[in-house]
A and B are shown apart, each in its own frame.
Chain A
Amino acid sequence: MRYETDRREFLKGAAGLAAAACGLAQAPSAEHAKTAPTGSGDAGYGVTWYPFTEHPESDSCWSLSAGPDGRIYAAACAEGVPGGVVKLVRYDERRDALEYLFALDEVVEDPGDSGRATQCKIHYSFVPSMSDGVLYMATHLSGPPIDQPAYSPWHSWHDPERCFRGSALVAFDTGKDKVLWWDTLIPKEGCRCLLIDEERRRLYALSYPRDHFIIYDLDTRRRRDVGRIGSINSQVLFLDRRHRVWTTDDYGHLVRYDPARDRLERSPFVLPHDRRFQTGWHSVFYDAVASPDGQCVYAGTWIARPWLMRIWPHEGDWPRIEDLGPTTQDRDITIPYDTFLDHCGGLVFGGDGCLYYVASRWRDSMYNPLPAGHKEREGVVWRLDPATLERTEVARLERPDHFAQYVSRGAADRNGDLFFGHVGPRPVGIFRVRPPADRRKKDAHLPIRIWG
């Protein structure tokens, strides 16, 4: 079976197609904002779907993170609709429901109906600050102006009426539920991903579309542009114990910013990829998570046929890399599959010390002939034991109205539950995956993830 749906087309038309084409239930109403357990699996993991019913235009949840308070925050983004804006959402464990905190366009005085590109999403850009309870977030672009069907930052760069004002950085006090301040992090550009070095009071970001590496000083509230990396944004930054920031370039090489050298450096080595047909090009990082002991980082790539690897940043001049292989099923490599179908994200460590991630699975007459009645696509929750590198399927993410193969980010909350952000038909939402009791622990969000 071929899947030719362009991602933008998918985002645009998915809400209607979901019900029409699949004959499935309509999206739940606001009164049924949480659905009954929807996932499946034999390992005792309960899956619950929480759609963003109070933001029906939301078509993507690109950011999901534990806050410094150990609660789960998610970005209800609306990038496929003219004038769409992002709203901040939090999972309320007492009510077992979502609460809607604010719309970003209102907070940063950049309304969605301005005629500019909108504050439509937060893209891998939640970063918690543990010392003061602040959750920083930075907005991203791509949502069209209200009276246009699409937005291109290249097209409108020099247009003062249309050009995105810039990525807005918001400091939200999670203890007082209060926006403390906001600032423009990157004029005219979006923030693809964000990282905090709390000890040094710095934020690091990648800009889009120009792919510049940005440093923002939280004390002086000044930014510095260190330079351009390439043409394909990496989707994540990570930090090592020596305060070095890591990401990738267009060609699948590690890129490192060392504050001591104040320079972006590139590894000569190409990261693991499928050598049958990939070259390293576009094998930029999609997601990365540090092991709880801080010794290594697990990362996956942002290209169809995503690859998993383990990186030891403190070993050697350039890190030792372990190739952990593909995360999704084998398939026809004569077709340039899209990352919307062939995808892996949501890397998170659970309370049991194991790595969890969500990889897509789909029906393929040759490579994966699923039984009749099985969903065409699904998001599979995998559990990987760092000691043995054995991986086990523990759950499948299912939303009642459509497929759920695409997960952006994952996080563990203070109760040891896992949460995953989803991208799909409107309204999108998040999944909660409750591990068995012996695999949960209190404060499972610690040590806190400090990048989006």
Chain B
Amino acid sequence: MRIPGRIRAVAGDSVPYGPSDNAPVRRRRPQRSRTGEGPSTMAKKKYDVNAPGAKALIDEIVHGTFMKEGTMVAFPTCFPGASVPIPADESRITALDITPEGIVYGGTSGRAAHLFVGMFHGVTGVVFDLGAVEGARQCTAVCCGRSRVVACVNDADGGRLVACPLQGLPFDLIQEWGFARSPLDDWGRPAAGEPILHALADASRSKLIGITAGHVFMADLHEGKPQVVGAIEGAGRLAIGPAGGVFGLDGDRHLWRFDPRNGSLERRAVALPAGTWDKAGLRWARDASSGLLYTADAGGNLYAFADERAFAGPLGRVPLAPVGPMAVTHDGRLFGFCGSELARMFCYDPHRKQVRNLGVAVSVFERRRYGYVFGDAVTGRDGEIVFGEDDDLGHVWLYFPRIEPRT
């Protein structure tokens, strides 16, 4: 029987794997010693599965890969047992926000973009689909005002804003409940033909500030009607700085700053630290207590932004790049995901000045679910971190950090 040699590589369109998926794999060679004086005496030996320590190593490989600290709970996008989740290919959660009362709002992407609300405190336990936005396939931001929630969605003609009233708490989700789906108000397009990249509510929750592919815009969170406030090539996500300014990426090396109170837009307001900055992937997390902002460069180096003028850091390097959604819990610890395809959670502890790899997300309560890709994060009422799963059949993930031992 003849076996031909290596076959040409055929590139796939879905899962990148380096130069060639079909690259031949070399056998294990004798290893050089650390001092470089020549090959060590032993090549890799077949592992003796009965060796002392084998069970511990197996346990570390099998279990230690997942959630080394804290607890994850994956909640479906429905009222379990009372409604069905958002269709799997319309439920990639790409945007989250939270009200001061701890009610979570989210937006999805995929075959359609939906807006939803999640309630996890009191006698609730529900995600309610507020509806799909006609024609939209991507939601890039959800912003909670004092009375309305506004979503930024993209369709074939660019980005637009849609809004609906905030949801009140239901009476009781045993026996007595009622949900109604209201029409979503269309607030129009901030810049014709331009997709919205990101937006946020300002500190007073009265204004929405956003960025399209070419413009910064603002909208009143009660009355709508987005208005352009400046022309800037859009990139990455926005953040609210320690003093209330809104920041976004301005070219490769700077941030612009917008003051929602007086409407001023300052170009090249802050220089980015040395590093490789990924325009598309710029992420932020804000410590609500101090106003401190965290971000990361394309190499996974973490930086802090404390006074709206300069960065500190790098503070540390997370296990993988790119860095995904992050949020800060009440004691100042930063939690986020890093790595593509199958992300790992990390923690930056500012008190210990330490980055830790917390492993792959998994929820083991009642029905196991693995979490691979996440789109956004917010800090919950009690300091739990709420992550939106940017995957088919996306769930809302609640992460309860480990309580640190008393020192």
Contacts and interface: CB of A to CB of B under 8 A. Distances in A.
Interface of A: 12, 81-83, 101-102, 106-111, 113-116, 144, 146-152, 154-155, 157-158, 160, 165-166, 177-184, 186-189, 209-210, 212, 214, 221-225, 227-232, 249-251, 263-264, 266, 268, 281
B17 A150 contact: no
A232 B366 CA distance: 14
B171 interface: no
Interface residues of B, number: 58
A250 B367 contact: yes
B33 to A, nearest CB: 17
A154 B342 contact: yes
Interface of B: 1-4, 6-7, 9-18, 21-28, 44-47, 49, 51, 54, 57-58, 61-62, 64-66, 84, 87-89, 111, 320, 339, 341-342, 344, 360, 366-370, 372, 391-393
Given A110-B24, A228-B391, A188 B7 contact: no
A264 B17 CA distance: 25
Contact of A228 (B7, B16, B393): B393
B112 to A, nearest CB: 11
Most buried by B among A106, A147, A150: A150
A155 B65 contact: yes
B62 A150 contact: yes
Closest 7 A-B residue pairs measured CB to CB? Answer: A225-B14, A184-B21, A187-B17, A109-B24, A155-B65, A228-B392, A82-B47
Contacts of A182: 7, 22
Contacts, number: 166
23 contacts: A102-B1, A110-B24, A114-B25, A116-B25, A147-B28, A147-B45, A147-B46, A149-B54, A150-B57, A150-B61, A155-B65, A158-B344, A182-B7, A183-B10, A184-B10, A186-B15, A222-B12, A225-B12, A225-B14, A228-B372, A229-B392, A232-B368, A264-B89
Most buried by B among A116, A158, A232: A158
Contacts of A228: 88, 372, 391-393
Given A149-B47, A150-B62, A160-B18, 19 more contacts: A82-B46, A83-B46, A101-B1, A108-B22, A113-B27, A147-B45, A158-B320, A177-B1, A178-B1, A179-B4, A181-B7, A183-B22, A188-B341, A209-B370, A222-B13, A227-B88, A228-B391, A228-B392, A250-B369
B394 to A, nearest CB: 9
A148 B57 CA distance: 9
A250 B2 CA distance: 42
Contacts of B15: 186-189, 225
A402 B3 CA distance: 36
B21 A187 contact: yes
Contact of A151 (B61, B64, B339): B61
B83 to A, nearest CB: 11
Contacts of B367: 250-251, 281
